[in-house]
Each structure stands twice: as structure tokens, then as C-alpha cells.
Amino acid sequence: MPHWSRRWADGAMSKGMAWVARIFGIAEDELAPVLIAQLVFFLLFAAYFMLRPVRETMGIAGGVENLQWLFTGTFLATLAAMPLFGWIAGRVQRRRILPWTFGFFAANLMLFAIGFRWQPENLWIARTFYIWISVFNLIAISVVWSVLVDLIPTAQAKRVFALMAAGASLGGLVGPLIGIALVERIGHEGLLWLASVLLIAAIVASRQLQRWRDAQPVHEELTASARQRPLGGSPFAGITTVLTSPYLLGISAFVLLLASVSTFLYFEQARLVEMHFPNRADQTQVFGTIDFIVQSLTVVSQLFITGRIVQRLGIWVLLVAVPVVTMLGFLWLALAPTFAVLAVVMVVRRFGEYAFVRPGREMLFTVVPTEAKYKAKNFIDSVVYRGGDAVSGWAKTLVDMLAHQPAIAALVGAAIALTWALTGAGLARAQHRLANASGDAGNEGRAPERQRI
């Protein structure tokens, strides 16, 4: 290519990148990490959301009346997995935690694919897969966010986290479509093989994010040599860190309430879908359609709305608005407990979680020490979340047994959502206070390693 042509092409590309950065409201040098993180999220969420309808189908196969047992099994499995993840996080270089974790899960998917091929109607394989995929999705997603909160300071996080999460929404948009289109052709086992390939591709993409950070002039804590050192510490450090930190306990309470709200709606969804769609393939397609609608709404918000909202109004709006809307949705459901109303409330709640609550929740971790960003965060995102699932699953079953009225469960859900909103408001104030104390509220900085959290 002639020199003048190459210069013209480089200039056009630079102008194009500047134009894209302006549209998204970020600096031009932030565009590269945003695109890389979007790709990692896209591959992970395409894999997970392709399998999510399969998980729901497997849950119904074991009987809706047994879902609380699956939730309890998921919690116990997550609790058992935590020491293993803590050991990996303490012994492996920080930059290799994600590849090791994703590689382990990809290998598991291949084993389940073989099991589905040999015994497609085996209920115990179905139940085990349901529990396993419920553990996988929280740990895998938490690990990606751990890497991001480790690499991205708070000031940048406010601008780029929602944009990065848009990759997750795009993956969540494509994943259900793949599942709907291919489930009848290649079966559930074929979807599992495809998902394992996507996870391996996510490992390759994540390396580019580490290379980008290596090239950035940042504080010593974030240099390549620092991230090549293992975190060290006990495999149970995540638990002890959370129990000794009022701030992390507050985040745990927020996650517990989020899980409880989600579980109440989830049980109602499973009951009504089983009632109206008895065929397994139809159930998978219904769940996939709901996922598609949710992700379509979410991706638009993450690309053009969420980042601008948090820069103008602060993190509190991300942590409070959705719980308040969810509370109103529960009240509506109490007045009209139908599948149509439930579908609307479910879509709005999940859209709000992915577009607003999740980016806001991750910003809470930008002001904690490095070890907490991996160990304590993963403990909260997985064990605490699944513990909330298990407890609220039994609570929902008890309410249904005592009341025999869907409206009563909806009113209980509304009360939980109100408490969720109040907890979110308190956390937003605490995060702002810690960010100011670390000098990271408006300019580049890092989490205070000795700041009490």
C-alpha cells in the first residue's frame, strides 16, 4: 500500500474511533479496553444464555415442586466450590485466574455433553446440570468483573462499566437465538459443545485485556509484574474478609435481597410455564424468547443510557431505581397474578438488573483492596447469592403452603424489594465516602489497601 494511502487509512480509522468514543461518552484511549471487555463478555454470555433455557428445562424436568431442593443443592455446591476457587486465586498469577477458571468450566461442559448424549432422559444428570450451570454462571461472571475492577480505577469505571456490560447483553441476545434455532437440530448436547468452544475463545480474548493494561502507565499495584504475583492468603480469606468488613457485609445484604426478589419471581415463572407449555422444546423456546426480549432492552440502555445516568446522577440511581420499580411490579402482580403480568414484571426486573444494578454493584468493589476484589467478591457473588436463593426458595414454598394465594407471595416480594432499595441507598453513600477517602472519586486512583471497609 502506498504511503499516502496508508496515512489516509490510519487517519480515517483514528477519526472513526474518535467518533465512536464521542457517541459513547468516553475518552478515545478508553475505547480499546471497552471493546476487548465487550468481546469477553459477549462470548461468555452467549455461551451461558444459550444454556440458560436448557437449565430451566432441566429444572422443570425434575418437577417444579422440587425446585427448592435444586436451589439448596446449588448453594451447597457453591459452598464446596469456594475453597477451590480461593486456592486458585491465592496460588495462580492474577492474570491467569480467568483462563484457569474458564478452562475448568469448558472441560465440565464437555463431560455433560457426553452424559446428555448417552442418557438424555436421566433425571439425575438433568438435576446435576441444573446445579452445575447455576454455580458456573455466578463464578464465571464474577471472575470477569473481578479482573475489570482490578484493572479499571473508579473514575473510569463510571464511564466504561456499563459499556463493557453491553457485551454481556449482546451475548445474552445472541445466545438465546442460537439455542432457539439449534436445539431441535443438534440437541442439548450439541449446545453444550458449542458453549465450551465459546468459553475457550473468551480465554483468548481476555489476554488482550491484560496486554492493554500492561502498556498503561499506572500505579505500581497495577503493573504487569505485580499482577504476575499470586495474591496468596488462605482459600477461606473471602469469608473472613466479608465478615470483618461492614461495607462488604452491606454488599452481601444487597445481594441477598436481590437473590430473594429474583427467586420469588423465578418460582412463579416456572409454575406458570409448566402449566401453559408442557413440551420440553416449547419450554426452552419460551425461556429463550424472554431472554431475547430482556437483552434487547438491556443492550440499548447500556450503550447509550446507563453510563450517562451514573455520571450525572451518581451510583445511587443504579442501586435504588430498579428495586423501587420491582416493588411496584410485585404490587401489580398481587392484583393480577397472571402469566402476562408476570412476564412483564420478569422482563422489567431482569432488564433493570443487567442494565443498571449490575454495573452499579460492580462499581461498589472498585474501592476495596485487591485481594477482596477476587476472593471476597467471588464469595459474595456466588455463595451469598446462592445462599439467598436457597433460603428464599424455601421461604417461597412456605408462603405458598400457608397462604395458597399468589397475591400473598407477591406482597412479601414487595416488602423485600423495598428493603433492597433502602440497602442500595446506604451502599451508594458508603461507596462515595470510600472513593473520596482514596482520592478516586473524580481522578485516577486506586483502592486504599489499608482503608477500613
Dump pLDDT digits (tens) for 269-291. 777 777 777 776 677 677 777 87
Residues 391 and 259: beta-carbon distance below 8 Å? no
| C-alpha–C-alpha distance, residues 274 and 212, integer Å | 47
Instruction: Give the chain's mean pLDDT.
Output: 78
| pLDDT higher than 70, residue 123 | yes
Statement: residue 12 has pLDDT above 60: no
Q: Please tell me which residue, 452 or 363, carries the higher pLDDT value.
A: 363
**In-domain check, residue 248:** yes
DSSP-derived letter for residue 380 is I
pLDDT-based confidence at residue 420 (cuts at 50, 70, 90): very high
Q: How far apart are CA 129 and CA 122, in angstroms?
A: 11
Average pLDDT over residues 135-142: 83
Which pLDDT belongs to residue 24? 64
In a domain, residue 444? The reply is: no
* Three-state SS annotation for 82-126: HHHHHHHHHHCEHHHHHHHHHHHHHHHHHHHHHHHHHCCCCHHHH
Tell me phi and psi for residue 2, to 5 degrees: -60, 155
The CATH number of the domain holding residue 102 is 1.20.1250.20
What is the spatial distance between Cα 326 and Cα 417, in angstroms, rounded to a whole number? 6
Confidence band of 219 (pLDDT split at 50, 70, 90): very low
Compute the average pLDDT of residues 15-31. Answer: 65
Q: What percent of the chain has pLDDT over 90?
A: 17
Residue of higher predicted confidence among 75 and 259:
259
For the whole prediction, is pTM greater than 0.85? no
Q: Would you say 213 and 83 are in contact if contact means Cβ atoms under 8 Å apart?
A: no
- At 176 the pLDDT is 78
User: 204 or 285: whose pLDDT is higher?
Assistant: 204
- In-domain check, residue 123: yes
> For residue 356, is it within any domain?
yes
pLDDT in tens, 341-379: 888 888 888 888 888 898 888 889 888 887 788 788 888
- Residues 152-186: pLDDT tens digits? 776 777 778 877 888 887 887 788 788 878 877 88
pLDDT of residue 215: 67
Cell of 321: 431505581
- What residues contact residue 4 under an 8 Å CB cut-off, 6+ apart? none
User: Which residue's entry shows cell 504476575?
Assistant: 228
pLDDT band per the 50, 70, 90 thresholds, residue 247: very high
Q: Give the per-residue pLDDT at 436.
A: 82
Going by C-alpha positions, the residue among 354, 165, 365 that lies closest to residue 250 is 365
* Residue 15 confidence class, pLDDT cut points 50, 70, 90: low
Q: Which residue has the higher pLDDT, 447 or 94?
A: 94
> Does some domain include residue 58?
yes
398 versus 192: which is more confidently predicted? 192
Sign of CA dihedral 314, 319, 321, 324: negative
Quick one: cell of 427?
Answer: 451502599
Q: Is residue 93 part of a domain?
A: yes
- Please list the residues that pair with 230 across neighbouring strands: 93
pLDDT tops 90 at residue 224: no
Is residue 423 over pLDDT 90? yes
Range of the structural domain that residue 129 is part of:
29-219+226-438
Q: Which helix (H) or strand (E) holds 221?
A: none
Q: What is the pLDDT of residues 288-336, one digit of tens each?
A: 778 778 877 877 777 777 777 877 777 888 899 999 999 999 999 889 8
Our count of domains for the chain comes to 1
* Mean pLDDT (whole number) for 395-422: 84
Region class of 92: left (phi > 0), else alpha (psi between -120 and 50), else beta: beta
In this predicted model, which residue has the larger pLDDT, 386 or 236?
386
Q: Are 34 and 24 in contact (CB under 8 A)?
A: yes
Cell (9 digits) for 135: 454455580
Whether residue 17 lies inside any domain: the answer is: no
In a domain, 9, yes or no: no
pLDDT at 217: 57
- Nearby residues of 340 by Cβ (< 8 Å), 6 or more positions away: none
Return the beta strands (E) in 242-305 as ranges.
none
